[in-house]
Amino acid sequence: MSWFNGGNFSAEKSVRPTRPCYVPPHYRNNGMPDFNNVNSFMSGNGSFAQTGFSSFNSYSSRRQARGGGASNGRFAGPGRGRSGGGRRFGRPEETDERNHYPNRNGFRIPDALDTKESFGEDGDVCGGINFDAYEDIPVEVSGSDVPPPVNTFAEIELSEGLYKNIKRCKYVKPTPIQRHAIPIAVAGRDLMACAQTGSGKTAAFCFPIISGVWKDRSRFLPTAREGWIAYPTALIMSPTRELSCQIHDEAKKFAYQTGVKIVAAYGGAPIAQQFRNLEKGVDILVATPGRLVDMIERGRISLTRIKFLALDEADRMLDMGFEPQIRKIVEQMDMPPPGSRQTMLFSATFPEDIQKLAADFLSNYIFLAIGRVGSSTELIVQKVELVRDMDKRDHLLDLLRSQMVNGFNGKKALTLVFVETKRGADALENWLSREGFPAIAIHGDKVQAERESALRSFKNGARPILVATDVASRGLDIPHVGHVVNFDLPKDIDGYVHRIGRTGRAGKSGLATAFFSDKNIPLAKALVELMQESNQEVPSWLTEYAAESSSYDIYSSKRGQWYGKGNYGGRDFRNMTQHEEGYHNHSVNAGFVENYGTTTAAYGISNLSNDSFDIANTVPATSSNCHYSDAGTYYEGGANGPNGYVSVVPTGWD
């Protein structure tokens, strides 16, 4: 990625004097804002609004002037009373809240927000979507006989009606994940696909499924709903109700007038209504696991005719929370086994251990990664602020006021604030409302109608601040989210990647601010790595914490995952050497000797149950391919051979 060297864009008021100006990819071929001037940047031609970070850069000095306390000299909390001195206003009138919300403190209520922007017909920049932003992302594909990528939708053998709908949706050009994944899926191959948040994964699995279902004449068999049992041809599962709803809505747009019937089944909504929808016929079922199991156990859905299975947010679906239910649905009910159905797994993050689990559901699959697995898009400007827990509310208030003072510069932007707990979400919503900021909370303890209403009033701008737990962290595609605030940081870096990914979508820019407190030190190293990788400016105090936090890189009990690092894999785990605790004589696909930052595979050959092992290509350990982990653990194991299989024995942990 290039760093822009000043020139025409010299600062009026430089806030980053010591570093060259990074130009995010979405600005590279367009009108350029002044990148040395934060205010100018915020009001640039991206989708999010001016947020006034100039005032934040002076935050620390203001705090010191006030004599605010800092525990270790690095915290920048305001160190003053909890109210921040703001005037308090009552909760909003529930009626006509957009127009009459008490905004005496000046918080601008956006006008009605469009749900979609329009797209141009003329090439790369369509309705603010700048495809150049994605062009230089490296692509990794592995597996046998990989179908080649395409450059246009027209090159793919999709059904006629679907083409029309792609045009109707103004999808002029496929995104990289679509260019690669759709031909693979249309060729009938199983797929594990990873691409950054907001890069178009939904269409990447919906298009082949809709097309495949449409071409599958067997769905017209009269027995398709016999005895009021629904026999869908395709099943798309996702972890949350809101995401299932969203996928359902998207898929319906893509399947408009094709005759392909799509039904959603998710918890919290009346099951009787969902049964009635199923009774009208279903080709593609979009479901959350809990409601699906319920329906299958009540004998209303059979999976015997499933030909296409897609798991969105697949790593979440296979982590410890969901895995038993997914195994039950996919392995213990009546679904055809791998090989007899086509299985597609999609996510922006895919930890190695989950990749291994996922392999159980796949047959001869292709692994596709657009960018490094678990990486974050450069479209999102990431800021990390050092804030003590006790100062977070004031800090947030200052942030929101700063947005207020600088205005939205004619742009409409929503702010999504992530907190750790449901109680914390309610408390922050109440507090913000008391302070005169129109906020609404969404979390798992709210009934579904409340959740939907919260999301609606956020989307339409009636409550432009949504306080959310992780229930809103994955998959949700809400236009105009300009700013994501991690009021509480998540425990692992993958969670952070998904949360900040609610902004900076579809080629548009976004801003993510994290409040980092001493509780988050274990996350520092992974955060620094992620930020560096996406060319973000890393504060020096965070780098210091990262150095300190190396000692936190111990295996947690949870499936050998790194705490903090999230164990995010760089690539197809089949191409990696094994480095997990407790693996003995475990055969792995060699071909690579990989350095994982802390460990690298090493020396010695065992294996060798695999015929394709090529002893001639064996690479014995040398100082360059044999490393020690941070913990001083020596890996003894093997390498190499393009198709070789070797054993890796982590002797240090015996």
Residues forming contacts to ligand ATP in the complex (CB under 6 A) are: 126, 129, 171, 173-175, 178, 195, 197-203, 348, 475, 477, 501, 505-506
**Residue 130 or 577 having the CB closest to ligand ATP:** 130
**Residue 120 or 324 having the CB closest to ligand ATP:** 120
User: What contacts 410, CB < 8 A, 6 or more positions away?
Assistant: none
Output the CA–CA distances (angstroms, integers) from residue 7 to 34, 276, 499, in the order listed.
11, 64, 35
- Rounded to the nearest whole angstrom, what is the least distance from the CB of residue 197 to ligand ATP in the complex? 4
The H-or-E segment that residue 480 falls in is none
The H-or-E segment that residue 97 falls in is helix 97-100
Instruction: State the pairing for strand pair 481-486/510-516.
Output: parallel
User: What contacts 226, CB < 8 A, 6 or more positions away?
Assistant: none
- How many residues in the chain? 654
- Rounded to the nearest whole angstrom, what is the least distance from the CB of residue 228 to ligand ATP in the complex? 33
The H-or-E segment that residue 520 falls in is none
**Residue 126 or 588 having the CB closest to ligand ATP:** 126
- Rounded to the nearest whole angstrom, what is the least distance from the CB of residue 479 to ligand ATP in the complex? 7
- Rounded to the nearest whole angstrom, what is the least distance from the CB of residue 205 to ligand ATP in the complex? 9
DSSP string, 289-355: HHHHHHHHHTTSB--TT--EEEEETHHHHTSTTTHHHHHIIIIISSPPPBTTBEEEEEES--BHHHH
Residue type at position 113: L
**Residue 46 or 200 having the CB closest to ligand ATP:** 200
Residue type at position 561: Q
| Structure token digits, residue 272 | 């009787």
**CA atoms 168, 172, 177, 181: torsion sign:** positive
**Residue 505 or 579 having the CB closest to ligand ATP:** 505
**Residue 212 or 510 having the CB closest to ligand ATP:** 510
Residue with tokens 């046998």: 144
**Residue 314 or 399 having the CB closest to ligand ATP:** 314
- Rounded to the nearest whole angstrom, what is the least distance from the CB of residue 243 to ligand ATP in the complex? 8
DSSP string, 563-580: TTTTTB-SS-GGGS----
- Rounded to the nearest whole angstrom, what is the least distance from the CB of residue 180 to ligand ATP in the complex? 13
**Residue 456 or 584 having the CB closest to ligand ATP:** 456
Alpha helical stretches, state H, 111-266:
132-135, 160-168, 176-186, 201-215, 241-254
- Rounded to the nearest whole angstrom, what is the least distance from the CB of residue 373 to ligand ATP in the complex? 12
- Rounded to the nearest whole angstrom, what is the least distance from the CB of residue 281 to ligand ATP in the complex? 26
- Rounded to the nearest whole angstrom, what is the least distance from the CB of residue 339 to ligand ATP in the complex? 27
Query: d(Cα 278, Cα 272) in Å, to the nearest integer?
Result: 10
**Residue 312 or 435 having the CB closest to ligand ATP:** 312
Query: d(Cα 134, Cα 132) in Å, to the nearest integer?
Result: 5
**Residue 186 or 542 having the CB closest to ligand ATP:** 186
**Residue 154 or 615 having the CB closest to ligand ATP:** 154
**Residue 159 or 599 having the CB closest to ligand ATP:** 159
**Residue 399 or 417 having the CB closest to ligand ATP:** 417
- Rounded to the nearest whole angstrom, what is the least distance from the CB of residue 345 to ligand ATP in the complex? 13
Query: d(Cα 225, Cα 275) in Å, to the nearest integer?
Result: 12
The answer to whether 335 and 341 are in contact (CB under 8 A) is yes
What torsion, rounded to 10 degrees, do the Cα atoms 500, 504, 506, 508 define? 180
**Residue 348 or 530 having the CB closest to ligand ATP:** 348
Query: d(Cα 344, Cα 330) in Å, to the nearest integer?
Result: 13
Query: d(Cα 49, Cα 104) in Å, to the nearest integer?
Result: 20
- Rounded to the nearest whole angstrom, what is the least distance from the CB of residue 471 to ligand ATP in the complex? 14
Q: Exposed/middle/buried for 233, CB within 10 Å: 0-12, 13-18, 19+?
A: buried
**Residue 47 or 599 having the CB closest to ligand ATP:** 47
- Rounded to the nearest whole angstrom, what is the least distance from the CB of residue 597 to ligand ATP in the complex? 24
SS3 17: coil
Output the CA–CA distances (angstroms, integers) from residue 337 to 157, 307, 360, 420, 544, in the order listed.
26, 10, 10, 38, 50
- Rounded to the nearest whole angstrom, what is the least distance from the CB of residue 416 to ligand ATP in the complex? 12
What is the rounded radius of gyration, in angstroms, for the C-alpha atoms of the chain?
25
In the Cβ-directed half-sphere of 24, how many Cα atoms lie within 13 Å? 31
**Residue 372 or 505 having the CB closest to ligand ATP:** 505
- Rounded to the nearest whole angstrom, what is the least distance from the CB of residue 309 to ligand ATP in the complex? 17
- Rounded to the nearest whole angstrom, what is the least distance from the CB of residue 505 to ligand ATP in the complex? 5
- Rounded to the nearest whole angstrom, what is the least distance from the CB of residue 288 to ligand ATP in the complex? 15
Query: d(Cα 74, Cα 173) in Å, to the nearest integer?
Result: 47
Query: d(Cα 277, Cα 264) in Å, to the nearest integer?
Result: 8
User: What contacts 128, CB < 8 A, 6 or more positions away?
Assistant: 47, 117, 506, 507, 508
- Rounded to the nearest whole angstrom, what is the least distance from the CB of residue 69 to ligand ATP in the complex? 39
**Residue 36 or 238 having the CB closest to ligand ATP:** 238
Q: Exposed/middle/buried for 612, CB within 10 Å: 0-12, 13-18, 19+?
A: exposed
